[in-house]
């Protein structure tokens, strides 16, 4: 099996649409590898914040992205052997990641890194441009979405469950601001890929969404 024939399921969507949960469960069910592309941008953002790298210094940020000492193991995300799974989910990191994701040099620096996750027997990749830019020829493309209110409620529950205080109003404002940046940026804006199945998860459970994606996958690989 050559790299180009390894099946890829590209799952894109806005923040808190459920794409991470769905993608992870689909990968587990199929025995595929999993790529959380958003984590790469968050890792770059976390590194930039820790090093006080100016967010308008595109060249410096691209260098950070190009040399990320990161790895994924057992559901944990490591940065130079430090477990940063929870640290990269902080709101400040997410907002910073959204800002630097609009920078062409940063996106280019992470391009090859993302392609390297395509390994047999297959890959489930979640992000914002998996089906439009990174894996445009993926046999199955899915665009998960949900109302801003539903996404804010999900994000609120995630934070509260982790013992992190949060405000629904602030989360909703952040989500709307992030959506505006992601959908209107000049490079790889957040839009459904050509031929993608658009799935609104506002009133769906994660299991229902997973079952539907697996059904689409079965039809795509026939």
pLDDT in tens, 72-125: 777 789 999 899 998 998 889 988 998 998 899 999 999 988 998 999 999 999
Tokens 């057992």 sit at which residue?
74
**Does residue 222 sit within a domain?**
no
Confidence band, pLDDT 50/70/90 cuts, at residue 152: very high
Cα-based torsion angle of the residue sequence 50, 52, 57, 58 in order, rounded to the nearest 10 degrees: 0
The answer on whether 15 is annotated among ligand-binding residues is: yes
**Does residue 83 sit within a domain?**
yes
**Does residue 1 sit within a domain?**
no
The answer on whether 96 is annotated among ligand-binding residues is: no
Residues forming a β-bridge with 200: 145
* Sequence-separated (6 or more) residues with CB below 8 Å from residue 97: 38, 41, 42, 44, 45
**Does residue 220 sit within a domain?**
no
Q: For position 1, what pLDDT does the model report?
A: 65
What tokens does 123 get?
């890959």
Q: For position 71, what pLDDT does the model report?
A: 82
Residue range(s) defining the domain that contains residue 164: 7-214
The answer on whether 16 is annotated among ligand-binding residues is: yes
Q: What CATH number is given to the structural domain containing 179?
A: 3.40.50.300
**Does residue 104 sit within a domain?**
yes
pTM: 0.87
The answer on whether 141 is annotated among ligand-binding residues is: no
How many domains does the chain fold into?
1
Confidence band, pLDDT 50/70/90 cuts, at residue 146: very high
**Does residue 21 sit within a domain?**
yes
The answer on whether 167 is annotated among ligand-binding residues is: no
pLDDT in tens, 171-182: 999 899 989 988
The answer on whether 17 is annotated among ligand-binding residues is: yes
**Does residue 156 sit within a domain?**
yes
pLDDT more than 90, % of the chain = 69
């Amino acid at each position: 099996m050559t790299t180009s024939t390894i099946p890829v399921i590209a799952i894109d969507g806005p923040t808190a649409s459920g794409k991470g949960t769905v993608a992870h469960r689909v990968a587990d069910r199929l025995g595929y590898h999993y790529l959380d592309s958003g984590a790469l941008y968050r890792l770059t953002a976390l590194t930039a914040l820790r090093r006080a790298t100016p967010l308008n210094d595109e060249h410096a940020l691209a260098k950070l992205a190009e040399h990320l000492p990161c790895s994924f193991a057992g559901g944990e995300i490591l940065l130079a052997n430090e477990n940063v799974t929870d640290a990269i989910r902080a709101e400040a990191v997410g907002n910073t990641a959204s800002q630097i994701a609009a920078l062409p040099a940063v996106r280019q620096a992470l391009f090859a890194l993302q392609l390297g996750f395509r390994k047999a027997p297959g890959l489930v990749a979640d992000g914002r441009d998996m089906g439009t830019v990174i894996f445009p020829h993926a046999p199955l493309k899915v665009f998960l979405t949900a109302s801003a209110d539903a996404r804010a409620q999900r994000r609120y529950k995630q934070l509260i469950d982790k013992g992190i205080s949060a405000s629904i109003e602030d989360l909703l404002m952040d989500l709307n601001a992030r959506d505006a940046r992601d959908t209107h940026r000049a490079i790889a804006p957040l839009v459904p890929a050509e031929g993608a199945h658009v799935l609104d998860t506002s009133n769906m459970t994660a299991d229902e969404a997973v079952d539907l994606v697996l059904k689409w996958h079965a039809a795509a690989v026939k």
